């Protein structure tokens, strides 16, 4: 296994290498530097022959003791992936707001690349992307425009913008390395493999999340899970999100219990609760607007 330019000793993956019982992934991530340092030390000992001076050639490396409370947030994990490998592979920053974006029918760059756009025509679409870079350019006709480098879960792409307000929003997102909901216009010239993307509007996802009312549904299977979930949610008060528990009944069916309407909900919290309640037990979505009834 190779990580960070160093090759890990395969023996470190064997039984007894970690001084922990079934350490979770967060603990391994949190102790990554410790693991790498241990592997490098073990390799140095083998290459110099120092391991055999006292313990013999077959001496095993000392066990690695992983911190039991180590934990990386989704944002930290993705930032570490980008720093180490130059790209995201477990998730993309846009994915953290997929519960918001579902209502806007956003398309990835890979999806819009398959659109049939007749030459000379333009079509609109919604996209969501991370703004990685933005630079001013001047066209052959002397008009200034902004060229932005963006990415989504399908890969990296380039888009342009001409409106001053839109350009200002893109520059701000690029400085913050932020994600935005994009209203775009697409066109394709003869011979182009992919459509040209022109940004007409950018809404920062961080601001969109603040304006959107969310709801989280958690399916609880036993009391121990309920206690652990309640402890996590107790630290997320002060918002306008609704949390609802689905509790199985001994007589069959399930009860729906509203735990509160003042939670700060986001993808990070949903993943934390999912680790406790289990895969598929948590659903995060936007709240449906109240339905108006006609009064006669």
* pLDDT, block means (10 residues), the chain with 296 residues: 37 35 46 65 68 52 59 58 60 80 89 91 95 94 94 92 96 93 94 93 89 90 85 90 91 90 87 88 80 51
Predicted confidence at residue 44, as pLDDT, reads 72
Cα-Cα-Cα-Cα dihedral sign, residues 80, 81, 85, 87: negative
List domains and CATH numbers for the chain. 2-72 (no CATH), 95-207 (2.40.50.140), 213-286 (3.30.70)
Predicted confidence at residue 10, as pLDDT, reads 35
Predicted confidence at residue 286, as pLDDT, reads 85
């Amino acid at each position: 296994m190779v990580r960070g330019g160093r090759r890990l000793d395969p023996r470190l993956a064997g039984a007894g290498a970690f001084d922990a019982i079934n350490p979770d992934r967060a603990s391994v991530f949190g102790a990554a530097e410790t693991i790498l340092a241990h592997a490098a030390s073990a390799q140095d000992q083998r290459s110099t022959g120092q391991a055999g001076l006292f313990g013999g050639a077959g001496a095993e490396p000392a066990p690695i003791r992983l911190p039991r409370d180590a934990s990386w947030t989704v944002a930290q994990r993705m930032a570490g992936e980008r720093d180490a490998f130059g790209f995201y592979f477990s998730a993309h920053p846009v994915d953290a707001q997929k519960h918001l974006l579902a209502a806007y029918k956003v398309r990835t760059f890979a999806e819009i690349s398959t659109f049939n756009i007749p030459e000379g025509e333009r079509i609109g679409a919604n996209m969501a992307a991370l703004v990685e870079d933005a630079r001013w350019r001047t066209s052959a006709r002397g008009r200034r425009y902004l060229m932005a480098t963006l990415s989504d879960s399908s890969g990296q792409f380039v888009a342009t913008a001409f409106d001053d307000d839109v350009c200002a929003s893109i520059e701000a997102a690029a400085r913050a390395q932020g994600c935005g909901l994009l209203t775009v216009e697409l066109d394709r010239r003869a011979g182009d493999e992919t459509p040209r993307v022109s940004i007409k509007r950018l809404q920062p996802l961080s601001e969109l999340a603040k304006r959107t009312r969310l709801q989280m549904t958690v399916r609880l299977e036993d009391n121990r899970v309920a206690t652990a979930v309640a402890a996590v949610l107790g630290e997320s008060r002060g918002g306008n999100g609704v949390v609802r528990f689905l509790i199985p009944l001994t007589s069959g069916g399930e009860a729906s219990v509203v735990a509160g309407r003042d939670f700060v909900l986001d993808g990070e919290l949903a993943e934390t609760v999912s680790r406790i309640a289990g895969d598929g037990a948590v659903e995060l979505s936007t709240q449906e607007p109240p339905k108006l009834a006609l009064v006669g």
